[in-house]
């Protein structure tokens, strides 16, 4: 378990303590969490650019702890997530690590049922603070509003945006909690004087970002003065080269920004298609919820909450995370 000590050297305090506790438990008994049954939501479909990193973190946590984990793939479909959660609560499990995308209203009654059955709930990627306040649970993920605002403000500063500039911001504007981050980016850009055009995405675009090609190209035809496009996730941001080439744009002609890192995003940085992204370390969003459930179930620890926001990756520093991203860890 020396690898955990190495991780702890660069981890923040609360995370370091959790990793050391995990290591101590493992030294006392291998597979110390093997009696803990967990349903884990990866969010996307198998092989999804973002969800696969979350999945990798969860697999590593299961290997380190010995937890008995079933992995659920939802294709980012909210109704699918809710149905899978309903089935998980009805099953014989000790803990559920749930993506919060369906929102407080959809999750609350199922979280109440889980609490009544003594099922430990952890949430990742998208917070549901009302649910957690009423029924317990920790949250592992970026603070969405702060992250979205910071991206917009950083874009204004880095690319000298202001009055007279136009930006296109993609988001799932129909979803209660999922759009908080992108709305904060919109607000920050508008506060800087930028005209913002909001365009809708769908869960299908996360599964197959090529579905966004006609929408991006049409947006650029309708708004030829567009200077910047902000994407809601790593799947679409990693596809920026395809969008720009379909629209007849050269690298750097349109500034492409968004969230996450991935092998595709690193390649787009290298080729000049992507210029700024906010990293939320999805590997930790897989690893820490399982570790937290194991610690709660076996040692009566409280739920773990951890902000995975890691700051920005841009054209000046992307090489520092390139190898980790290409390995599917960042």
Strand partners, 123: 98, 139
Instruction: Count CB atoms within 10 A of the CB of residue 273.
Output: 26
278 band by pLDDT with thresholds 50, 70 and 90: very high
The pLDDT of 171-199, averaged and rounded, is 91
The dihedral region occupied by 96, where left means phi > 0, alpha psi between -120 and 50, and beta the remainder, is beta
Percentage of the chain exceeding pLDDT 90: 79
Strand partners, 141: 307
Q: What is the pLDDT of residue 310?
A: 79
Structural domains for the chain: 33-142+282-309 (3.40.50.2300), 144-278 (3.40.50.2300)
User: Whole-model pTM?
Assistant: 0.87
First to last CA, the chain: 21
Residue 1 has pLDDT above 50, yes or no: no
Q: What is the pLDDT of residue 16?
A: 58
The pLDDT of 62-89, averaged and rounded, is 96
Q: What is the pLDDT of residue 10?
A: 43
Average pLDDT of the chain? Answer: 91
The pLDDT of 52-65, averaged and rounded, is 96
The answer to whether the CB of 48 falls within 8 A of the CB of 204 is: no
Residue 11 has pLDDT above 80, yes or no: no
Strand order in the sheet with 68-72: 68-72, 37-41, 95-99, 120-124, 138-141, 306-307
> Which residues contact residue 112 at a Cβ distance below 8 angstroms, ignoring those fewer than 6 apart?
134, 135
The answer to whether the CB of 258 falls within 8 A of the CB of 284 is: no
């Amino acid at each position: 378990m020396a690898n955990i000590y190495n991780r702890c050297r660069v981890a923040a305090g609360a995370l370091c303590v959790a990793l050391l506790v995990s290591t101590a438990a493992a030294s006392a008994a291998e597979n110390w969490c093997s009696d803990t049954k967990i349903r884990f939501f990866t969010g996307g479909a198998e092989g999804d650019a973002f969800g696969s990193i979350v999945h990798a973190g969860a697999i590593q946590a299961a290997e380190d702890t010995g937890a008995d984990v079933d992995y659920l793939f939802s294709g980012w479909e909210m109704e699918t997530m809710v149905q899978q959660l309903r089935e998980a609560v009805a099953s014989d499990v000790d803990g559920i690590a749930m993506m919060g995308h369906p929102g407080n209203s959809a999750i609350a009654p199922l979280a109440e049922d889980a609490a009544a059955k003594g099922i430990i709930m952890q949430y990742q990627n998208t917070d549901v603070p009302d649910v957690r306040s009423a029924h317990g649970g920790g949250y592992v993920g970026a603070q969405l509003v702060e992250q979205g605002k910071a991206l917009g403000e950083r874009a204004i500063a880095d690319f000298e945006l202001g009055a007279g500039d136009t930006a296109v911001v993609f988001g799932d504007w129909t979803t209660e909690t999922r759009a908080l981050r992108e709305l904060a980016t919109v607000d920050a850009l508008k506060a800087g004087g930028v005209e913002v055009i909001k365009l809708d995405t769908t869960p299908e675009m996360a599964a197959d970002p090529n579905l966004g090609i006609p929408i991006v190209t049409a947006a650029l035809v309708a708004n030829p003065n567009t200077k910047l496009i902000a994407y809601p996730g790593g799947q679409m941001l990693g596809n920026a080269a395809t969008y720009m080439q379909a629209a007849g744009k050269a690298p750097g002609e349109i500034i492409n920004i968004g969230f996450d890192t991935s092998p595709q995003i690193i390649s787009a940085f290298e080729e000049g298609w992507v210029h700024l992204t906010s990293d939320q370390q999805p590997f930790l969003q897989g690893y820490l919820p399982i570790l937290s459930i194991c610690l709660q179930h076996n040692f009566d620890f409280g739920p773990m909450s951890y902000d995975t926001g890691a700051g920005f990756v841009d054209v000046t520093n992307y090489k520092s995370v390139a190898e980790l991203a290409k390995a599917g860890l960042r």
